[in-house]
């Protein structure tokens, strides 16, 4: 799947949210279930957080390809990214894409959870993460928003893909190149969230909704 296709899906989902407010309504309902009554600024901030989270998918994939190209590992990284985007077109979509921004939450969660897992596995083997931005806190908050049993179903799918031979071979190849030529050139910046930690972003945007 091309990054342009994902970006088009995100653009369409954002347009749907502007016209329907599906995600905003879901956030209000989830906050109420946690005993919170957020105002409109807090709801709007949470919607923006989800938008920025989803937009990290194409941003991370581009960063990964660029970094891999610097050490001649475009083929390996392309395979990793192919796995990370596979779910976006699956017919077994747990949350239907027709639900707009709410509907692509599971797609983004799958991609970014898989990429974080690859980064963690790379760190175990090389001593440093593949990506400078650790998304565990953001992934956890999105998992909370998705809820059960859907979240566990996606986690199982991530685990299946992560432990499949193609993925383990690609991570090993990237690690081997790091050992041979030095540390993998991890992108240092985050054009979406800047220098703030993921934990700070999550607390600021979702804390008052009980989702942080």
Segment 35-82, tens digit of pLDDT: 888 889 999 999 999 999 999 999 888 877 776 776 677 777 787 788
- 98 Cβ partners below 8 Å, 6+ apart? none
Number of folded domains that form the chain: 1
Q: What would you measure as the largest C-alpha separation in the chain, in angstroms?
A: 54
Give the C-alpha separation, 139 to 152, whole Å: 13
Domain that holds residue 31: 3-209
Burial of 92 (0-12, 13-18, 19+ CB in 10 A): exposed
Which secondary structure element, helix H or strand E, spans residue 49, and what is its range? helix 40-69
Give the C-alpha separation, 145 to 70, whole Å: 37
Q: What is the mean pLDDT of residues 119-129?
A: 81
pLDDT of residue 184: 55
pTM comes to 0.88
Q: What tokens were used for 171?
A: 């991570």
Q: What is the 3-state secondary structure (H, E, C) of 80-92?
A: HHHHHHHHHHCCC
């Amino acid at each position: 799947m091309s990054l342009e296709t994902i970006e088009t899906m995100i653009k369409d989902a954002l347009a749907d949210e502007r016209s329907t407010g599906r995600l905003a309504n879901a956030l209000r309902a989830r906050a109420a279930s946690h005993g919170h009554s957020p105002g409109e600024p807090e709801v709007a901030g949470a919607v923006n957080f989800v938008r920025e989270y989803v937009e990290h998918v194409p941003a991370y994939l581009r960063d990964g390809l660029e970094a891999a190209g610097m050490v001649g590992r475009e083929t390996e990284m392309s395979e990793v990214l192919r796995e990370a985007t596979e779910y976006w077109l699956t017919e077994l979509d747990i949350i239907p894409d027709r639900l707009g921004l709410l509907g692509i939450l599971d797609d983004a969660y799958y991609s970014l959870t898989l990429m974080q897992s690859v980064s963690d596995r790379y760190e175990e083997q090389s001593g440093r993460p593949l990506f400078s931005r650790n998304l565990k806190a953001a992934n956890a908050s999105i998992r909370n928003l998705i809820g059960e049993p859907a979240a566990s179903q996606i986690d199982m799918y991530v685990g299946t893909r992560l432990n499949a031979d193609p993925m383990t071979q690609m991570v090993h190849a990237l690690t081997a190149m790091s050992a041979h030529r030095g540390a993998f050139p991890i992108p240092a910046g985050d054009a979406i969230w800047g220098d703030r930690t993921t934990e700070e972003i999550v607390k600021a945007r979702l804390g008052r909704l009980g989702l942080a």
